[in-house]
Amino acid sequence: MASLRRVKVLLVLNLIAVAGFVLFLAKCRPITTKSGDSYHDIHPRAEVANLTAHGISSIQDAVLKRLSLLEDIVYRQLNGLSKSLGLIEGYGGRGKGGLPATLSPEEEEKAKGPHEKYGYNSYLSEKISLDRSIPDYRPTKCKELKYGKDLPQISIIFIFVNEALSVILRSVHSAVNHTPAPLLKEIILVDDNSDEEELKAPLEEYVNKRYPGLVKVVRNQKREGLIRARIEGWKAATGQVTGFFDAHVEFTAGWAEPVLSRIQENRKRVILPSIDNIKQDNFEVQRYENSAHGYSWELWCMYISPPKDWWDAGDPSLPIRTPAMIGCSFVVDRKFFGEIGLLDPGMDVYGGENIELGIKVGATG
């Protein structure tokens, strides 16, 4: 209780400080006086006289960051939402920086059952922070690119069925942490009729309190399958752009701007963000080299080398034109996706959407 009172006192003091700062700015408006035939602006302080639009913008940004910090204190200290689920928040801990995470010998024994159930080490996942940092493998030139402030907003859609709760929430935290707030319209979680109890009330209560108004949960009343689940997510989306992802991904900083910029240039593009690998046993992030997607003779989607003209350009920041796609990660203009008929709801062949969407987009130019 003493700790809770200290947090409340800290919150109140910070709010008072922010309110006082805003009032100070309001008081510091210029005063106009007449001298001879000209007018001069006089500010209460000499420093304020040097304020520019950029300076005021910087102050506003600082205030917003302070309010964001206060929000963080409320969620993490007063509510303790992740702790009540046995999960961890923050940027440290096991697996930090995308390095391999490990378990003690005693923990290894406990991890065997969940590993067989999910196909990855879900017990270890619970020991890794929902906010862990991962490497930024973008080429240096990509990090230097600048983008406009009028980019379209994106609705991020995660599809899952009986996925480990920690993995789903790490996907959500990662998307929120690494997508600029003005660009993130919403996150939609489509549950394809999961059986796991932790994916029902506990999941819904957590996202509603942790990210109020930002995360929506769509529940299928029966198992629909991957394609129809994606379509249900698309129906619920309101952003100009929709991004479809499996619910076991982690985003890096700067992922959204180039994707949204490309679609802004041409709404008939489908963008496939570059995908690295998260190892199933230890959650180490493994870099994949730049590649395109093509087909084998059996029409399976596969990684192929980028075309010769891309290599000849000598610029790793350039997009790679590719004839195929993989379904676990793609971004498309919401209305354009509807115009081309979405995905065939009757498609129940694994990988079938790789061929379908590649043909549809190619046919539209």
Q: For the chain, which domains are there? A: 73-127 (no CATH), 140-277+286-363 (3.90.550.10)
Residue holding tokens 């923050």? 90
In DSSP terms, 81 is beta-bridged to none
> Which pTM value belongs to this model?
0.77
| Packing angle, helices 165-178 and 201-210, rounded to 10 | 20
Q: What integer best gives the mean pLDDT of the chain?
A: 80
Angle (CA) 172-175-176 rounded to 5° is 85
Q: What is the number of other CB atoms lying within 10 angstroms of the CB of residue 195?
A: 9
The b-or-e profile of 59-85 (16+ CB within 10 A means b, else e) is eeeeeeeeeeeeeeeebbeeeebbeeb
Residue 351's pLDDT is 67
**How far apart (Å, rounded) are the C-alpha atoms in residues 54 and 76?**
33
The rounded Cα 26 to chain-centroid distance in angstroms is: 36
| Packing angle, helices 53-73 and 2-27, rounded to 10 | 160
Nearest to 178 by CA among 222, 136, 122, 238: 136
**Poorest-pLDDT segment among 28-37, 145-154, 304-313, 339-348:** 28-37
For residues 4-15, average pLDDT: 50
**pLDDT category of residue 54 using cuts at 50, 70 and 90:** low
Residue 32 has pLDDT above 50, yes or no: no
Reduced to 3 states (helix: H, G, I; strand: E, B; else coil), residue 5 is helix
**Poorest-pLDDT segment among 241-245, 264-268, 282-286, 288-292:** 288-292
Highest mean pLDDT among 29-43, 104-118, 174-188: 174-188
In DSSP terms, 241 is beta-bridged to 154, 333
Residue 44's pLDDT is 36
Pairwise pLDDT comparison (62 vs 304), residue with the higher score: 304
Give the tokens for residue 53: 């639009």
Cβ–Cβ under 8 Å, residues 326 and 288: no
Cβ–Cβ under 8 Å, residues 285 and 275: no
Pairwise pLDDT comparison (348 vs 259), residue with the higher score: 259
- CA Rg value for the chain: 24
Residue 3's pLDDT is 43
Strands (E), 169-279: 184-191, 215-219, 241-246, 270-271, 277-278
Q: What is the number of other CB atoms lying within 10 angstroms of the CB of residue 290?
A: 14
Strands (E), the chain: 31-35, 38-42, 154-160, 184-191, 215-219, 241-246, 270-271, 277-278, 285-286, 292-295, 301-304, 329-333
Cβ–Cβ under 8 Å, residues 317 and 136: no
Give the tokens for residue 220: 């299928």
Residues 104-156: tens digit of each pLDDT? 888 888 887 777 778 888 889 999 999 999 999 888 888 899 998 899 999 99
